[in-house]
Structure formats: C-alpha cells, structure tokens
C-alpha cells in the first residue's frame, strides 16, 4: 500500500477528537471477531500488510519502533486491532494499514490474530541494560512482583480471557515507551486499574521494572529455533 500522509493526519485528528472509552466495553467488531473461526490461509495474505513494519517473522524492531507481535495472545491482538480501528487507541502510523479497505473486516482481524499467536517468537529480543544480579535488576524484579504479577503473570504470560497482554520476549524499548504512555495518560485504551497502579512510579522505577520484564523469556516451545529463522510463508 502506498503510504498516505493525508490519511495519517486525518486519523491523528480523529484520535484527538475522540473521547476515551471504558477499558474494555466490548461489543462491535471486537466481539464479532472473537466469535469467528480463524482462516489461517486468509491470514497469510492479511499479515503481508503487517509484515512491512513488524517483519515477516513478526519480531518487530529491537529499537522499539515496532513491537514483537509473534506469540501474542489471540484475544489481545483482536482487542488492540479493534481499538485502533475504532480510534480508541491512538496509533496514527498504524491506522491507515489497519483499515478494512486494507486488510478486510472482522473475519480478517480474527484470522491475523490467530496467525500472529502461532508465529515462533524471537529468541533474542531486545533487553534492558541491567543484567541479573545487579541492584537495578533486583529492584525491577521486586517492582514487578509487587505490581505486575497479578495481571500479567509471574513469567509475563498474560491472561487471554481478561485481555492482559503477554509481555515475555517483548523489546525493552517498546514496553518502556508504552509503560510511560500508560503512566502519563497518553494511551487512551489503557486499563484504568493499571494507570492507578503505576502512577507513583518514577522514571527510574519504570526503567528498572521494564528491564526485568524484557528479560522474562517465553517457554522453549514458543521460540524460533534460532535468530536466523525465516518465516516460510514469506520466504
């Protein structure tokens, strides 16, 4: 698709003019997609649009520009895509590529979310600067245990039924940015319980807990065999 700046700026304006919705009201396209049977053959075509930024493997960029999508829980991806398309999550860069005119309707959302969930994850995601055993790592570990485990799980595995995302294996710079936006009220579809939970985090707290989170590794069966793995659907 040829990138259209006019569409991007129109989307940005619409996002700024759209009031925030409740954390997870459901309904509409989200509920429709959740109840559809995924078609993985169609998903390969749909994901081709996504692969331009998130890569054919779904691994995103270590610099945090684009997140790793591979392995993300299906329901989480459905919710986030539906929120972006409904202008409940501000993402003017992605919005033009997520339009029904580009990837299709609710069936395509269900298809691509199921496909993403099955993609092997990057075995070497971008991690924070502090290794295990350092004071910063230990501080982040405690902050995670005290504030994040209840929703995201001890290993960052998330909760599909409650739409809490899988965090394990995500790039440090991406989750750091998202955490900051949620803390500072810049991500309108954030869970208000999380916003309240982390409002008191300093910038250092934020860096330490995201450093720890970035080092939570997915189970071996979810990982690609090596950093050189190539998605055969786009080889």
How is 145-210 classified by DSSP, letter by letter? HHHTHHHH-TTS--BTTTTBPP-TT--HHHHHHHHHHHHTT--TTS-HHHHHHHTT--HHHHHHHH
pLDDT at 235: 86
The whole-number pLDDT of residue 75 equals: 98
20: Cβ contacts below 8 Å, ≥ 6 apart: 88, 188, 189
In Å, what is the CA distance from 193 to each residue of 26, 149, 172, 183? 17, 14, 22, 11
Indicate the domain borders of the chain: 5-118, 135-222
Residue 120 and residue 224 in contact, taking contact as beta carbons nearer than 8 Å: yes
C-alpha triplet 117, 118, 121: angle, nearest 5°: 85
Please indicate whether the domains covering 5-118 and 135-222 agree at the CATH topology level.
yes
The CATH fold assigned to 5-118 is Cytochrome Bc1 Complex; Chain D, domain 2 (1.10.760)
Helix pair 40-54, 106-118: axis angle to 10 deg: 70
Q: What is the reported pTM?
A: 0.90
Does domain 135-222 bear CATH number 1.20.1250.20?
no
Distance (Å, rounded) from C-alpha 208 to C-alpha 186? 21
Looking up tokens 């990837």 gives 103
**Closest by CA position to 57, among listed 65, 48, 131, 157:** 48
pLDDT tens over the chain, length 235 residues: 444 444 444 444 444 444 444 567 667 899 999 999 999 999 999 999 999 999 999 999 999 999 999 999 999 999 999 999 999 999 999 999 999 999 999 999 999 999 999 999 999 999 999 999 999 999 999 999 999 999 999 999 999 999 999 999 999 999 999 999 999 999 989 999 999 999 999 999 999 999 999 999 999 999 999 999 999 999 8
In the chain, DSSP finds a helix count (H) and a strand count (E) of 12, 0
């Amino acid at each position: 698709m040829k990138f259209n700046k006019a569409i991007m700026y129109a989307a940005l304006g619409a996002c700024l003019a759209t009031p925030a919705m409740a954390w997870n009201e459901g309904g509409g396209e989200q509920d429709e997609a959740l109840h559809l049977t995924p078609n993985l053959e169609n998903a390969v075509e749909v994901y081709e649009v996504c692969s331009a930024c998130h890569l054919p493997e779904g691994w995103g960029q270590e610099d945090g520009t684009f997140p790793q999508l591979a392995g993300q829980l299906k329901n989480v991806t459905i919710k986030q895509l539906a929120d972006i398309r409904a202008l409940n999550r501000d993402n003017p860069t992605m919005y033009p590529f997520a339009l029904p005119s580009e990837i299709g309707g609710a069936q395509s959302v269900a298809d691509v979310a199921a496909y993403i969930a099955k993609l092997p994850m990057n075995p070497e995601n971008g991690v924070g600067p502090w290794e295990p055993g350092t004071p910063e790592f230990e501080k982040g570990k405690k902050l995670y245990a005290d504030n994040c485990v209840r929703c995201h799980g001890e290993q960052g595995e998330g909760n599909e039924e409650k739409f809490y995302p899988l965090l394990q294996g995500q790039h440090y710079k991406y989750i750091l940015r998202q955490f900051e936006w949620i803390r500072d009220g810049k991500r309108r579809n954030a869970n208000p319980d999380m916003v309240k939970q982390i409002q008191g985090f300093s910038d250092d707290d934020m860096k330490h807990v995201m450093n720890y989170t970035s080092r939570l590794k997915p189970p071996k069966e979810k990982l690609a065999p090596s950093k050189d793995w190539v998605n055969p659907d786009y080889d």
